[in-house]
Amino acid sequence: MAAHLDQNATTAAAPEVVAAMLPWLSAPSANPSAGHAAGQAAADAVRAARGEVARLCRARHTSEVVFTSGGTESILTAIHAACVAQPTRRKLVTSTVEHSATRRALEVREAAGTHDVVRIGVDAEGRLDRAALFAALDRETACVTLLAANNETGVVFDLVGVGEACARVGAAFHVDAVQVPGKLPLDVRALACDLASISGHKFHGPRGTGALFVRDGFRFTPSIVGGPQEGERRAGTENLPGIVGLGVAARLARQKAEDPATRAALAAQRDRLERALVALLPGAHVHGAGAPRVPNTTNVGFDFGAAADAPDAATLLALLFEAGVEASAGSACNARKVAPSPVLLALGRTPRQAASALRFSLSHGTTEAELDRAISATEAALSALRSSP
Ligand code: PLP
């Protein structure tokens, strides 16, 4: 079995999640919109799942949860709704280190000429330039969309006061909270956000499931129209097994993230891995280590030297895959080539540094044996790279 240390990319559905989903995969007539008994049982199951997701993000009302197909759909829906809510405003504010779902959604509006995008920078540790953010907000701003936690570095943005500042100028505030559940408590009320996105497969729920928090009272326009499902906020027959699984995953993630000892145990595993990896090569260091981070993520920069033919993260990653260790190079890469990570470039790293980092991301099920395997495989890979001509 491979050591799966790429849990920010995706996680396996928890056994409890799979067990809860199975009966609904084959249940006849399980359409929550139907009036008969089977339909009502399905509607009850959706209601229970909605309650769990609302508790996960500490929403005030269960009606604030809209089920979607995942993080990407939630983010696109949120940005669309925010733009429609303020049709005369042109400005969209975001950061330089967002996930491609947000990045591309904004680029499309920019290219169409309907909106101007202001991208707020980060410091060398990945911390948001809060002064620049607050200075950018005005009555031209339709939407502020920001990550809660970065998928590549794990750095957690300080979003205190952002929601209130958005409310003062009438801008919508959307939080991409996809990397939070199961790692840290998620509190949409404390964030004072109008919209927040989560994705089931990032916290041991089923792939192709997610949710969008829509604050009660927010003037929401759906992206997907048709039937009356989800209170007319997301049309289409519900993915019932997926929603049920998402509900169970939400409960498990909340219990883990809200227990300080469980969070500390995960951070201790991550710290052990990170210390060992950094000790393997002179000059190795952790990107974002000086900032608050989610407890499961480490992004290790390796210094392979300045030679034109020096190895990069893709070469190292290929050797790790051969040794049964799954990690990630943070950005689009194939077996032998890695494009420098835009996130690390935004932290001020050179293209070479940004192409020489590996992300290891753990989950609560990660074993010490998996960590040992990752450490010894990285050590072997580095010495193979050193001795290769
Ligand atoms: N936002 C962040 C921070 C992510 O890490 C991801 C997935 O990698 C997404 C959004 C997209 O989520 P999904 O894969 O559910 O579409």
Give percent above pLDDT 90 in the chain: 88
The answer, yes or no, to whether residue 331 has pLDDT greater than 70, is no
What the block records as the tokens of 356 is: 């020489």
At 200-212, the pLDDT tens digits run 999 999 999 999 9
pLDDT over 90 at 155, yes or no? yes
Q: Are 200 and 246 in contact (CB under 8 A)?
A: yes
CA-CA-CA-CA dihedral for 97, 99, 103, 106, to nearest 10: -110
388 alpha carbon – ligand 1 mean position (Å): 37
Coil vs helix vs strand at 324:
coil
Distance of CA 368 to the CA centre of its chain: 25
Q: Which residue has the tokens 């580095």?
A: 382
Residue 330 has pLDDT above 90, yes or no: no
CA 207 / ligand 1 centre spacing (Å): 11
Confidence class for position 60, pLDDT limits 50, 70, 90: very high
Category of 236 on φ-ψ map: left (φ > 0), alpha (ψ -120 to 50) or beta: left
Q: What is the pLDDT of residue 335?
A: 44
Distance CA 38, CA 1 (A): 40
Q: Does residue 210 line the site of ligand 1, with CB under 6 A?
A: yes
Query: Who's near 251: CB < 8 A, 6+ residues apart?
Result: 52, 55, 56
* Mean pLDDT, residues 284-302 taken together: 97
- Mutation choice for ligand 1 from 178, 201, 299, CB with most ligand atoms inside 8 A: 178
Domain range list for the chain: 15-257, 260-387
* pLDDT exceeds 80 at position 308: no
Mean pLDDT, the chain, rounded, equals: 95
Do residues 269 and 362 touch, judged by C-beta distance below 8 A? Answer: yes
Rg of the chain over Cα atoms, rounded to whole angstroms, equals 21
Distance, in Å, from the CA atom of 40 to the CA atom of 30, rounded to the nearest integer, reads 8
Half-sphere exposure of 180 (CA within 13 A, CB side): 27
- Residue 224 — pLDDT band, cuts 50, 70, 90? very high
Ligand 1 centre distance from Cα of residue 307 (Å): 35
Mutate to test the pocket of ligand 1, among 10, 76, 197, 202 (most ligand atoms within 8 A of CB): 202
DSSP letter (8 states) at residue 293: B
pLDDT in tens, 24-51: 999 877 788 888 888 889 999 999 999 9
Task: Please name the residues in contact with 386: beta carbons below 8 A apart, sequence gap of 6 or more.
Answer: none
User: If we measure between CA atoms, which residue out of 245, 101, 123 comes closest to residue 178?
Assistant: 101
- Cβ-contact 149, 181 below 8 angstroms: no
What's the full length of the chain, in residues?
389
359 lines ligand 1 (CB under 6 A): no
- The pLDDT assigned to 182 comes to 98
The domain 260-387 belongs to what CATH superfamily?
A: Aspartate Aminotransferase, domain 1 (3.90.1150.10)
Which tens digits make up the pLDDT trace of 106-129? 999 999 999 999 999 999 999 999
Other beta carbons less than 10 A from residue 308's beta carbon: 4
Q: Where are the beta strands (DSSP E) in 257-341?
A: 285-286, 297-301, 325-326
Instruction: Give the residue-averaged pLDDT of 210-227.
Output: 98
Residue-wise pLDDT for 76-85, tens only, equals: 999 999 999 9
Confidence of residue 305 (pLDDT cuts 50, 70, 90): confident
Mean pLDDT in residue range 69-96: 98
- Could you tell me which residue, 243 or 333, shows the higher pLDDT? 243
Same fold flag, 15-257 and 260-387: no
| Cβ 174 under 6 angstroms from ligand 1 | no
Model pLDDT, residue 273: 98
Q: What is the pLDDT of residue 389?
A: 60
What is the Cβ-side half-sphere exposure of residue 39, based on CA atoms within 13 angstroms? 7
> Which residue type, as a one-letter code, is found at position 40?
Q
Burial of residue 95, with CB atoms counted within 10 A of its CB: 0-12 exposed, 13-18 middle, 19 or more buried: buried
For residue 337, the model assigns a pLDDT of: 59
CA distance 374 to 358: 12
CATH 3.20.20.140 fits 15-257, yes or no: no
